[in-house]
Amino acid sequence: MSKKFDDEIGSFITELVKRNPGETEFHQAAHEVIETLIPFIADNDDYKHANILNRITEPDRIIAFKVNWEDDWGDIQTNRAWRIQFNNAIGPYKGGLRFHPSVNQSILKFLGFEQCFKNSLTGLPLGGAKGGSNFDPKNKSDGEIMRFCQSFMMGLFHYIGEDTDIPAGDIGVGAREIGFLYGQYKRLTNRFVGVMTGKGLSYGGSEIRTEATGYGCVYFCENMLNHIGESISGKTCVISGSGNVAIYAAEKAIDLGAIVLTMSDSDGFIYDMDGIDSEKLACIKELKEVNRERIIKYTEHYPKATYHAGKPWGVKCEIALPCATQNEINKNDAEELIANGILAVSEGANMPTDRTAMKMFIENKILFGPGKAANAGGVAVSGLEQTQNSMRLMWDREKVDENLRSIMGNIHKQCVCYGQDENLVNYVKGSNIAGFIKIANAMLAHGIT
């Protein structure tokens, strides 16, 4: 990249940091996008004159509110909550809700910003948003979860709607939480509409929604490998996490013939050199989803497997699927993966690879699927759920899965179209530019808004 572009990128990021002090996660997400967009925009005067870059990095609005709720002892607790509606140029705001003690405005801004590009890539008419609270659902009773969710929705329901903003789940917000949130919305508005996605099948949810992000991550990886004449079948695969994304990434990888070696939680990871098959994965599902146990318990059921503290990236593999949280792969992890002969990385989590590690993968010609492309499966099926709600019908599992696979294939095609660099596809560049063009053109069409 020329010094002119380096200086322009540096100047832009410096100003962005000044406007958004202390928001390191948002700075990181914006930097990764801006450094690919500034050289692209240099050849398009319309985008420059309309100041699209500054406008697209500024959220439309930030809604902040407190959530008071009663615990099981009768004491009143207070949490902070936000909904960041980032950009609705191509459709109503769409993005998940995260309940986790780490949640703050910076994290939600990074997630909302990424969501704009991710939603654009799906081809569906969806804008970008994110929200959540620093509430920790761990070790809370169902009653406490319900009371928190009902109070949270009291603060949120004014700002959402099926044609305005459609929240979904994220970390800490699963089927139980979505049920409580949707029930309270219905109670407050007396309306039964598709205002949330990730709903249960009994009240308007979609088949494959729970599995969608994990399935989509593997479908994207499959597309990257097929593009260079390789197959996912028979490849060794290391997965981080053991939540929905990780479990269903493992399920689809196994289904397509990959050999899954690891899964993890925040304490450590299990390594099964014989591979985690469908039966073993069912054991992990029961441990995590039913019994809410730590991943170490797996070794009690399968003694040949070993448990290790830390992250799984030192295990020799051909495919890495980071499905846990942001910045879980750093420079040292990338060095280990590259030294061990990694072929492809497909991000199931949001921004799980830091900027240094990401650049190392690209420089070493590793197939690298960034989250805004590789984990778009979840919001893609959320969009399909909205369609089904609007039409008052329900598609079967096969139809939804077929649509998901097609959408991930189309995202891959867009990345190839805009990310081709000599004999290598730069999927980061491709996804950023492809996602940007649709949003920017809509913003131009709308004038000054």
> Mind telling me the catalytic residues?
130
Structure-token pair, residue 198: 């990730």
* H-assigned helices in 175-243: 175-189, 212-227
The token pair at 13 is 């990021």
Residue 62, CA distances (Å) to 98, 130, 215 in order: 15, 10, 32
Burial class (CB in 10 A: 0-12, 13-18, 19+), 437: middle
Number of neighbouring beta carbons within 10 Å of residue 394 = 15
| Cα→Cα distances 69→75, 132, 291, Å | 8, 15, 26
Number of neighbours of residue 140 by Cβ within 10 angstroms? 17
Q: How far apart are CA 340 and CA 333, in angstroms?
A: 11
Which amino acid would we find at residue 331?
A: K
Distance of alpha carbon 93 from alpha carbon 335, whole angstroms? 38
* Cα distances (Å, whole numbers) of residue 406 to 95, 227, 301, 380, 403: 21, 15, 38, 10, 5
In angstroms, the Cα distances linking 119 to 90, 167, 364, 380, 423 are 9, 13, 29, 8, 28
Q: At what angle do helices 175-189 and 142-156 cross, to 10 degrees?
A: 50
Contact of 314 with 330, CB cutoff 8 Å? no
